[in-house]
Amino acid sequence: MCGGGGGPSQAEQQAAAEQRVQADYVKREAAEDRAKQKREDINQALSARTQRQGKRGGTGRRSLFTSSGGGAGYLQRFN
């Protein structure tokens, strides 16, 4: 009835396995490249942010209870 071919030959199976290994390798390389680029972008963004904050001077947080001169702060004006 059927020709009895069975399935792929040993050579075809070997070639398919090699192709899968190669495809996995390419995917892994691409993922590593993306991760490296992302790390570099994050480092660059953090460096730029640090430089911007350094130009501004000061801490960025101000106390409402005491002033920089040690006297009464903003909230003390209303007591």
Q: Which residues contact 39 (CB under 8 A, 6 or more apart)?
A: none
In a domain, 65, yes or no: no
Residue 77 falls within a domain, yes or no?
no
Can you tell me whether residue 72 is helix, strand or coil? strand
Decide if 37 contacts 30 (C-beta within 8 A).
no
Quote the pLDDT of residue 15: 94
Identify whether 21 is part of a domain. yes
The pLDDT of residue 48: 79
Has residue 62 been placed in a domain? Answer: no
By residue range, what is the domain housing residue 46? 8-55
**Domain count of the fold of the chain:** 1
Query: pLDDT tens digit string along 25-75?
Result: 999 999 999 999 999 998 888 887 776 665 555 555 665 556 555 556 665
The answer to whether residue 34 is domain-embedded is yes
| Cα dihedral 29/34/35/38 (nearest 10) | 160
User: Is the pTM higher than 0.85?
Assistant: no
| Structure confidence at residue 14 (pLDDT) | 93
Within a domain: 79:
no
Please check whether residue 20 lies inside any domain of the structure: yes
